[in-house]
Structure 1
Amino acid sequence: MNISQILTPEATLCSVSLSSKKKVIEKVSEVMAQSINCHAEDIYESLFAREKLGTTALGHGIAIPHGRVEACTKATSVLLLLDTPVDYDAPDGQPVDIIFAILVPEQADAEQLKCLAEIAKVLSEPSLVSQIRHAHCGDALFEIIEKAALKQE
């Protein structure tokens, strides 16, 4: 699995202004709904239900919200870089400014795990995280992720 197979430039947003974890999940749901044939409310419910089980924040200002929706036919993702970090109940207590959300079909357990592992691996590189935080637009942010994904192959 290559991240660039599930992320598009249209779903890569920079300098997004949101005030809470709830607003982040709402925005992610709206962006995902535009790229797949699924209702934003269904996506929101899936992502929020997962957050209720425990935070998807990894620490160091990064969160990977994820969920499954029956109407989803293929894995998709959204990458947001927030202009101001929000409280995300992270284990290290740090607010989150990088959100890399994933949605997969209802029965795609293995695919979801592969996506999570790949994204976590890419976002574990401090120099890459620094590049992400200094991106000036969505296209630049997408290019950073695309290059990082190619190096992982």
Structure 2
Amino acid sequence: MQLSNLLQPGAVKVLANVTSKKRLFQDLGEIAHSAYGLDAAQTVDALQERESLGPTGVGHGVALPHARLHGLDTVVGVFLRLERPLDFDAVDRQPVDLVFALFAPKDSGVEHLKALALVSRTMRSAEVCAKLRANADPATLHAVLTEAQGGVQAA
């Protein structure tokens, strides 16, 4: 599994005016709809439901919201770079500016976990995060993410 298989170029955006987690989830839903044809309302509801189990802010300004959805065949992702960091109830209490959301089929088991592990490993790289924060062009952000793993496969 590679990030290039999970993340379409059209699912990478830079957002300027995200003021709440709810607004962020709405933006993620709209982008998932436009990039993958997912139902935006269902996507937002699923993200909020998952987030109610515990925050997905993993620290160091990174959040990995994720949800399982009906009508999806494969795991897909949306990446957002926020121009203004957002309070996300992250484990380290730091605001979030890099968001990599994953959407998996409702009945996916190991594929969802492999994708989450791959994204988590990639986003733990200080070098990758620095490059993402230094660029505002979605095409460049997509290239940084998809080239970051250098062909390393998910376990």
TM-score calculated relative to the size of structure 1: 0.95
Q: Report the equivalent of 2:14.
A: 14
Q: Report the equivalent of 1:24.
A: 24
Deviation (angstroms), 1:151: 4.1
1:51 aligns with 2:55: no
Alpha-carbon distance in 1 for matches of 2:35, 2:12: 12
**Secondary structure of 1:152 counterpart:** coil
Moved over 3 A (4+): none
Alpha-carbon distance in 2 for matches of 1:25, 1:148: 25
After superposition, the Cα gap between the structure-2 partners of 1:15 and 1:43, relative to the gap in structure 1 and judged at 3 Å, is: closer
Deviation (angstroms), 1:152: 2.2
Q: Report the equivalent of 1:120.
A: 120
Q: Report the equivalent of 1:100.
A: 100
Give the conservation status (yes or no) of the 8 Å contact 1:72–1:104: yes
Deviation (angstroms), 1:109: 1.9
Where does structure 2 lack aligned partners over 5 or more consecutive residues?
A: none
**Secondary structure of 1:90 counterpart:** coil
Q: Report the equivalent of 2:150.
A: 150
Give the conservation status (yes or no) of the 8 Å contact 1:63–1:98: yes
Alpha-carbon distance in 2 for matches of 1:85, 1:134: 14
Q: Report the equivalent of 2:76.
A: 76
Alpha-carbon distance in 2 for matches of 1:92, 1:128: 19
Give the conservation status (yes or no) of the 8 Å contact 1:43–1:67: yes
Question: Kindly, what percent of the aligned residue pairs are identical?
Answer: 30
Where does structure 1 lack aligned partners over 5 or more consecutive residues?
A: none
Give the conservation status (yes or no) of the 8 Å contact 2:65–2:102: yes
